[in-house]
Amino acid sequence: MAQQSDDSSWWQSAKNHASEIIDKGDDAVYVSGWAHHGRSTYTKEKLNELNEHAWGLGYGKTMRNEDGNDESLYGFVLKDSHRHPQIMAGYAYEWVFPISHTPLEVGIGGTAMLMSRQDYFGGVPFPVPLPLASIGTKKAKIMFSYVPRLSPNKNSGDVLLVFGRIEM
């Protein structure tokens, strides 16, 4: 009879992997400052109301895995489009591609997080998957995440969030 290991469930495997990121990962500080709202998806009046100075701060752990890609666990708070706190916590994975003969690299991947906003579900956290991209060095990157347009209605448009990650 085969002995069942502690890693028999996906939940246990996820917890073990999160512990590995926390134990082996480098401390990282996240700083945000700009959220660009798609000009064709909002009216001029709505754009004038929206906040594009998405100032925020976060903390996380980032580990370069055995395949040379980045895995991160993070928490982040920023000022949303309506100038209210937007709280996020999640996991990110980025495939990393070095730019030949330089310390620069580009990354592409995604994040799965829980987000809390006052204008959605009364502030109750909800799951959000989003794409990610980055450019920089292993220790300092400018990162981009994109919230796609999910409705054909005006003023329910797309947003590009630009932020930085600095590993300690």
pTM value is: 0.88
Torsion of CA 28, 51, 35, 91, to 10 degrees: 40
- Residue 50: alpha-carbon gap to chain centroid: 21
Domain borders along the chain are: 25-140
User: What does each C-alpha distance from 82 to 95, 116, 146 come to in angstroms?
Assistant: 32, 13, 17
User: Which residues belong to the active site?
Assistant: 37, 80-81
Secondary structure letter of residue 51 according to DSSP: -
pLDDT of res. 5: 52
pLDDT of res. 157: 74
Q: What is the mean pLDDT of each run of 10 residues along the chain (168 residues)?
A: 60 92 97 93 92 96 97 97 95 96 96 93 94 97 93 82 96
pLDDT of res. 130: 96
Could you give the CA distance from residue 93 to residue 132 in angstroms, rounded to a whole number? 8
Its CATH architecture, for the domain 25-140, is: Beta Barrel (2.40)
- Residue 139: alpha-carbon gap to chain centroid: 16
